[in-house]
């Protein structure tokens, strides 16, 4: 599916290792081929746009339309707290409501 590691909640993809697929623009394929790039689901395209504008050196522009809304980022450029926040929020976007309630109750 993704060509690399991928994480799912109830069979829904929420975080994945990006691969340099031919459908990705050539300049982004070069980045993805040369370093670890991870994709996560986001709540909507405005979230992805805000992340790109906030840290263009970390977040890549749109790679493909597949699986939108999503954002891809350079692992080497992201700090641990932001990584945890992104993955947790991606999980929340895809998780069913009962799992989100259980998570929040903890």
Query: Which pLDDT does position 67 carry in this prediction?
Result: 77
Residue 9 pLDDT > 50, yes or no? yes
Segment 27-69, tens digit of pLDDT? 999 999 999 999 999 999 999 999 999 999 999 998 877 778 9
6-99 carries CATH number 1.10.1200:
no
Average pLDDT estimate for 59-88:
92
Transcribe 1-67 into DSSP letters: --SS-EEEETTEEEEEE----TTS-HHHHHHHHHS-EEEEE-SSHHHHHHHHHH-TTTB-----STT
Instruction: Note the pTM of the prediction, 2 decimals.
Output: 0.90
Please report which confidence band the pLDDT of residue 2 belongs to, taking 50, 70 and 90 as the band edges. Answer: low
């Amino acid at each position: 599916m993704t060509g690399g590691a991928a994480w799912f909640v109830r069979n829904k993809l929420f975080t994945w290792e990006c691969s340099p697929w031919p459908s990705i623009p050539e300049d982004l394929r070069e980045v993805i081929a040369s370093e670890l790039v991870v994709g996560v689901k986001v709540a909507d395209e405005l979230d992805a746009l805000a992340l790109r504008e906030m840290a263009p050196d970390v977040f890549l522009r749109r790679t493909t339309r597949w699986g939108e809304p999503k954002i891809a980022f350079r692992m080497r450029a992201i700090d641990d707290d932001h990584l945890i926040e992104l993955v947790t929020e991606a999980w929340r976007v895809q998780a069913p409501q009962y799992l989100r309630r259980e998570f929040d109750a903890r």
